[in-house]
Amino acid sequence: MKKALFVLVCLVAWGGFVFFTAFYGLWMNPVVERGDEEAFISYATDKIDADTRGNTALVLLRDGAPYATHFSDTNAQVNGDTVFSLASLSKWFAAYSVLQLAQNGELNLDAPVQAQLSRWQLPESDFDLDGVTARTLLSHTAGLNDGLGFGDYSRDESLPTLESSLAAPRASGGRSVEIALTAAPGEQWNYSGGGYLILELLVEETTGMTFADYLKEAVFEPLGMRRTGYDFIESYDNNAGSYALDGARAKSYRYASNAATAMVSSTNDLARFVQHLVADPALPRDYESQRGRPLLTAESLTQMREPHGYALGAAIWGLGAILYAPVDDDFVYGHDGVNDPAINSSVRIDPTTCDAFIALTTGHPTLASNLGSDWVLWQTGVPDVLVSDAVIQSMLRPFALGAGLILLLWAWVARRGRGQGVRPL
């Protein structure tokens, strides 16, 4: 029994070491040598050209400035001004607007949302509704469990009101969901599109403006994001449209939640947003004096990447931003987005270097995110939270080899002990 226990302890210790170090990239190699920018650009452009079935745009930033771009297209001339659907990356901008209002003293991140809303209220629950705050909604820790991916509306359909969507949202895949409290606020992380629908209403009730108008006036215009908004994508000239997995042109849709999934933008505009996030955001002063709603300060911006949501003890979500990977007491952060039939977007920022990655695609459901994960591992040496399957796969070989070595060593010691008449430990 002692022998078996000793071997078991060795195996468990080795397994724990392999598991822990796997999440810090010990068993994974970047696609090209770290620091070799030309090699990464070559890898990324080759992958885009090989995998794109529709339209793709890529921008890489070094020290806050774009230094490499690549565009791949099927039936359109894609460039930095081409408008793409962003899907759930929209949530990052919704979070920005909420933090902006909080910075300017117009709302309290920790006040119960119920007390700040008049047009709709959360259904009664066995859990404490007062725990549903802007902070817990931003970080997906409010106790909502809708997992909401919003359903499609054709160009000719009338979009429901915000209140109607909150009461009975059209979910993706024809699912029936309810936006309601199903867990104690603040105790667990559960992705919730419905939470951002609530935040959209909060912005409207706080400002007295539509969500789209507020974002345009308070965020897009001062940053010079003139190819960004919430209009139907095909209403823009030079748009990426929508493509299916096989590269066939697909129908474009609208969505009943601007905050959660309906935003469209270009890589040029997203680069301007990233430059604002990594630079001194004390700009533009003329806009502040005219409108009275300044952009986020550097101090407020750090709130985006303060850990609030956790999985298996690891920080994965801040206030509206995904925390992709730890780096020098900070996090690579940003957001991704996915919508049917094959829309994918990704923006990731390393705040320690002010380097960033931007990719938008249609015609492939994961190309932008896959490249973003490749960039994070290449940039930091640490795998990001979206590649947990790859991390687990990376553990199998070293664990098996180590376990085999432990068992062989024990067998050798046991055999030698028997040959010499000595009992192994």
- Asked if 145 and 184 touch (Cβ cutoff 8 Å), the reply is no
CATH of 37-382, one of 2.40.50.140, 3.90.180.10, 3.40.50.150, 3.40.710.10: 3.40.710.10
> What is the Cα–Cα distance from 425 to 421, expressed in whole angstroms?
13
Q: Domain residue spans in the chain?
A: 37-382
pTM > 0.95: no
Cis omega (within 30 of 0) on the bond before 123?
no
> What is the Cα–Cα distance from 85 to 87, expressed in whole angstroms?
6
In sequence order, the β-bridge partners of residue 350 are 355
DSSP 306: S
Residue with tokens 């935040």: 199
Give the residue among 247, 257, 125 at the shortest CA–CA distance from 193: 257
Contacts of 331 (CB under 8 A, 6+ apart): 305, 307, 315, 318, 323, 324, 325, 351
- Asked if 72 and 52 touch (Cβ cutoff 8 Å), the reply is yes
> What is the Cα–Cα distance from 239 to 58, expressed in whole angstroms?
15
Residue with tokens 């308070």: 218
Over its length of 425 residues, how does the chain's per-residue pLDDT go in tens digits?
Answer: 666 787 788 888 888 887 877 777 777 889 999 999 999 999 999 999 999 999 999 999 999 999 999 999 876 789 999 999 999 999 999 999 999 999 999 999 999 999 999 999 999 999 999 999 999 999 999 999 888 888 888 888 989 999 999 998 888 776 778 899 999 999 999 999 999 999 999 999 999 999 999 999 999 999 999 999 999 999 999 999 999 998 899 999 999 999 999 999 999 999 999 999 997 544 444 444 345 678 998 888 999 999 999 998 889 999 999 999 999 999 999 999 999 889 999 999 999 999 999 999 999 999 999 999 999 999 999 999 887 787 778 778 877 888 888 888 878 777 776 655 545 44
